[in-house]
Amino acid sequence: MKKSYKFILAGVVFACVIGWLLMSSFSQDSVYYLEVHEITKNPDKYNQKGMRVTGNVVKGTITQDYKKQYLLFTIQDIQGEPDTIQVEYNGIIPDTFKEDIHVIVEGKYDKEKKLFNAETVLTKCPSKYEAELEQKAS
C-alpha cells in the first residue's frame, strides 16, 4: 500500500470519528423547546421526554412549601390558547416566582398523571427589566 493511501485512509477514519462524536453529543444534549398547547395536543409524542416548556403561571394555582422546597402550579399557553398543564417542582424556589409571570420549566411530562415534573424553573419578569432600561436610557 502506498504511503499516500495510508494518509487518506487515516484522514477518513479520523473524520468519521469526529462526525460520530458530534452527532452523539448533539442528540444527548438536545431538548425540545415547546409551548403548552403543543404538549396538550399531542401528549403521546412528548411523554417522558426531556424538554423545556414556556407558559404563564395561572393565578390561584400555586401551592408551595419553602421548607420542603416543594412547588406545584399550573401554566397556561402564552399564545392565548386555553391549554394548561400542571407543574411539580422540588428544589430551590426562585425569589421572583409568583402568579401571572412568564416561566420556563425544564423536565419531563408524564402523560398518565398529566403532570410536568420540572427539574428547573426559570422566571422571567420583563416589567422589572424594562423599568431599568427606561431609567438608563433617560
Domain ranges of the chain: 32-126
Residue 81 is predicted with a pLDDT of: 83
Mean local confidence (pLDDT), 35-49: 91
* H helices, E strands: number in the chain: 4, 7
Percentage of the chain modeled with pLDDT above 70: 86
How high is the pLDDT of residue 129? 55
**Which CATH number is 32-126's, of 2.40.128.20, 3.30.70.100, 2.40.50.140, 2.30.31.70?**
2.40.50.140
For the stretch 46-104, pLDDT in tens is 999 889 999 999 999 999 998 999 999 999 998 888 899 999 999 999 888 999 899 99
With 0-12 CB in 10 A as exposed, 13-18 as middle and 19+ as buried, what is 67?
exposed
3-class state of residue 1 by DSSP: coil
